[in-house]
């Protein structure tokens, strides 16, 4: 079969796939804007970093396409309506980002607890500024919105540091390393209990704008918000207001409504806010994991077996 591979995947990785699957042909996009000459023969598409508009062009012209695997943990970057109309199989990289994103969140939790941003600011001003408001993580509660694989990796690490871990989940089930699972309909209970609120759920019609002024009002004044999911889950204006008035202690954002973040965004100058440019997943180990998950599914696909990590509900987008 013919397999289309995004240009952001390095040639050496394409060569590794070709060596592992010598019976298949791999077409490596020269750049993500190109349409290969053999597009009509493509059966499988390994998608990474291609804008939605170009995906629609490729998918429309790939008349024999059967299966798309996305490198992302979520499906919101894909043209789901087109994919559903075509009846295509859609899978994702479910385990690739767990470790770097869990470590990223934990870095912020520790940074906030030990007041590292304030000390960095004092250092920049050559100020010897001792503080007495540092804290410990033992006994603190981290509330995670969404209890997927990234959240489970984070929960394991937080429990090792003596923290209490709670989470929301659409369908209740007990999970290891979580002290309590709370229905999403009772999100306010999680917000009220948490010292650190971590957003790690997919962006769907249900979660878009889910964290607004009313939800932030439920948080403790000394609590922190960390978003590693998608920007539109949080109402930006509401968060800016709460940080400006000190109604929550701080926040860390790795995702935004618009990326790159515009120069005139109020987020740049909002107090007690840490910004990073959507890099929480970055690690030299991510691409090998993506390729391994794809290769494992390609073996299943070649044998006619059910694929792993398929989209569960296309209407909700996850």
Catalytic residue among 259, 292, 299, 305: 259
Catalytic residue among 13, 86, 170, 278: 278
Structure tokens at 290: 């993506």
Coil/strand/helix, residue 224: strand
Structure tokens at 227: 């978003």
Catalytic residue among 92, 157, 230, 289: 230
Our answer to whether residue 305 is catalytic in this structure is no
141 closest CA partner among 110, 165, 119 = 165
Rounded to an integer, what is the distance from CA 263 to the centroid of its chain? 23
CA distances for 219 relative to 195, 196, 300, angstroms: 8, 9, 45
Mention every residue, 6+ apart, whose C-beta is less than 8 A from residue 249.
112, 221, 222, 223, 224, 272
Our answer to whether residue 230 is catalytic in this structure is yes
SS3 sequence of 282-297: CCCCHHHHHHHHHHHH
Our answer to whether residue 24 is catalytic in this structure is no
Which residue, chain included where needed, has tokens 């991510």?
286
Distance CA(53)–CA(242), nearest Å, equals: 36
Distance CA(209)–CA(200), nearest Å, equals: 14
Distance CA(206)–CA(184), nearest Å, equals: 10
**Catalytic site residues?**
230, 259, 278
């Amino acid at each position: 079969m013919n397999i289309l591979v995004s240009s952001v995947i390095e040639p050496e990785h394409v060569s590794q796939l070709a060596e592992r699957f010598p019976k298949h042909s791999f077409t490596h996009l020269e750049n993500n804007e190109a349409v290969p000459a053999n597009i009509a023969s493509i059966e499988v598409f390994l998608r990474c970093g291609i804008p939605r508009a170009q995906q629609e062009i490729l998918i429309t012209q790939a008349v024999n396409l059967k299966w798309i695997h996305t490198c992302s943990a979520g499906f919101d970057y894909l043209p789901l309506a087109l994919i559903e109309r075509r009846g295509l199989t859609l899978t994702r990289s479910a385990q690739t980002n767990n470790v770097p994103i869990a470590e990223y969140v934990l870095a912020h939790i520790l940074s906030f607890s030990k007041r590292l941003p304030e000390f960095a600011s004092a250092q920049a001003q050559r100020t010897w500024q001792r503080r007495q408001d540092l804290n410990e993580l033992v006994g603190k509660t981290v509330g995670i919105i969404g209890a997927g694989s990234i959240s489970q990796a984070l929960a394991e690490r937080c429990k090792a540091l003596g923290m209490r871990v709670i989470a929301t989940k659409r369908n209740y089930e007990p999970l290891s390393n979580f002290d309590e699972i709370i229905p999403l309909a009772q999100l306010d209970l999680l917000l009220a209990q948490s010292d650190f609120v971590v957003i790690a759920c997919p962006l769907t019609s249900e979660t878009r704008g889910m964290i607004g002024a009313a939800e932030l009002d439920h948080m403790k004044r000394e609590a922190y918000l960390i978003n590693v999911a998608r920007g539109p889950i949080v109402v930006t204006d509401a968060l800016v207001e709460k940080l400006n008035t000190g109604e929550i202690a701080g926040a860390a954002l790795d995702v935004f409504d618009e990326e790159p973040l515009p120069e005139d965004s109020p987020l740049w100058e909002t107090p007690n806010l840490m910004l990073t440019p959507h890099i929480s997943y970055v690690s030299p180990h991510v691409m090998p994991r993506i390729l391994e998950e794809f290769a494992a599914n390609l073996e299943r696909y070649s044998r006619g077996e059910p694929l792993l990590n398929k989209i569960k509900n296309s209407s909700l987008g996850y």
